[in-house]
């Protein structure tokens, strides 16, 4: 893909300047905005409606019980669809980057980003910088991510024994089972749990648990 920059780092003729939105030190790998009004400069006047909402337009759930001979399976799934969130939102622009608690950068930040050796215009992250990048952190369609998901809330598998030797112990039946909560979540968004309701991932995720049990009926 042809570069928007000359060899000396200046913008080529006809490429809109982004100085009006903090892009005074624009370099290859930075986010490029659309000059909506065609005046040759990217400013607040070029801001438009991004669309989408954090409130899901689709909320659903389903479950069931399956039994075959002595085996039973109980399950429940829940999910949401058509929900989006703008991630980032600070001058550091990359979630979990910066200082103090924000200093834990994700490995994906390093592996799927624009570099001189990886000039992919569709890399997940633009070029990384030292300190804030006022051009790249701005809310835009680049940071708008689909937060739809389908989660396995509960699943339980049981096996019931009702053999003669149990009856000799005055036990009608005995059921052993294993159950799990929040075992997995299917989503196109991979950085963190999309149900956390956060733009930077700095929240504890939902607990995942597995239990083993025994039911005895006398």
Tens-digit pLDDT profile for residues 12-42 = 544 556 555 555 567 888 888 888 888 877 7
CA–CA gap between residue 216 and residue 9 (Å, rounded)? 76
Please give the pLDDT value at position 188. Answer: 94
Q: Identify the band that residue 138 occupies on the pLDDT scale cut at 50, 70 and 90.
A: confident
CA–CA gap between residue 34 and residue 47 (Å, rounded)? 9
Please give the pLDDT value at position 26. Answer: 76
Residue 17 phi/psi, 5-degree rounding, is -75, 140
Tens-digit pLDDT profile for residues 175-186 = 899 999 999 999
CA–CA gap between residue 214 and residue 158 (Å, rounded)? 9
pTM above 0.85, yes or no: no
Check whether 60 has a pLDDT greater than 70.
yes
CA–CA gap between residue 179 and residue 189 (Å, rounded)? 26
CA–CA gap between residue 208 and residue 37 (Å, rounded)? 50
Choose between 80 and 28: higher pLDDT.
Answer: 80
**Which of 7-11, 62-66, 82-86 is predicted most confidently?**
62-66
Choose between 119 and 80: higher pLDDT.
Answer: 80
Please give the pLDDT value at position 163. Answer: 74
CA–CA gap between residue 20 and residue 135 (Å, rounded)? 9
Average pLDDT over residues 194-205: 85
Closest CA to 33 of 13, 51, 50: 50
Tens-digit pLDDT profile for residues 91-114 = 554 555 555 555 555 665 577 888
Q: Is 8 exposed, middle or buried (0-12, 13-18, 19+ CB in 10 A)?
A: exposed
Choose between 203 and 76: higher pLDDT.
Answer: 76
């Amino acid at each position: 893909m042809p570069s928007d920059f000359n060899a000396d780092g200046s913008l080529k003729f006809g490429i809109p300047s982004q100085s009006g939105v903090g892009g005074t030190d624009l370099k290859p790998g930075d986010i490029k905005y659309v000059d909506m009004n065609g005046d040759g400069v990217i400013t607040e006047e070029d801001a438009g409606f991004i669309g989408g909402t954090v409130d899901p337009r689709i909320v659903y759930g389903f479950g069931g019980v399956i039994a075959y001979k002595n085996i039973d399976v109980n399950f429940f799934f829940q999910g949401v669809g058509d929900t989006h969130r703008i991630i980032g939102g600070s001058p550091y622009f990359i979630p979990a980057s910066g200082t103090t608690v924000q200093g834990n950068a994700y490995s994906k930040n390093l592996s799927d980003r624009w570099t001189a050796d990886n000039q992919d215009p569709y890399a997940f992250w633009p070029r990384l910088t030292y300190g804030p990048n006022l051009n790249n952190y701005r809310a835009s369609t680049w940071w708008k991510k689909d937060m739809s998901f389908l989660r396995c809330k509960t699943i339980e598998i049981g096996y019931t024994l009702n053999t003669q030797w149990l009856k000799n112990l005055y036990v009608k039946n005995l059921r052993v089972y294993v159950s799990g909560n929040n075992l997995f979540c299917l989503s196109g968004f991979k950085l963190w749990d999309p149900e956390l309701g956060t733009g930077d991932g700095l929240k504890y995720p939902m607990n995942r648990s597995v239990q083993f049990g025994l039911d005895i009926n006398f």
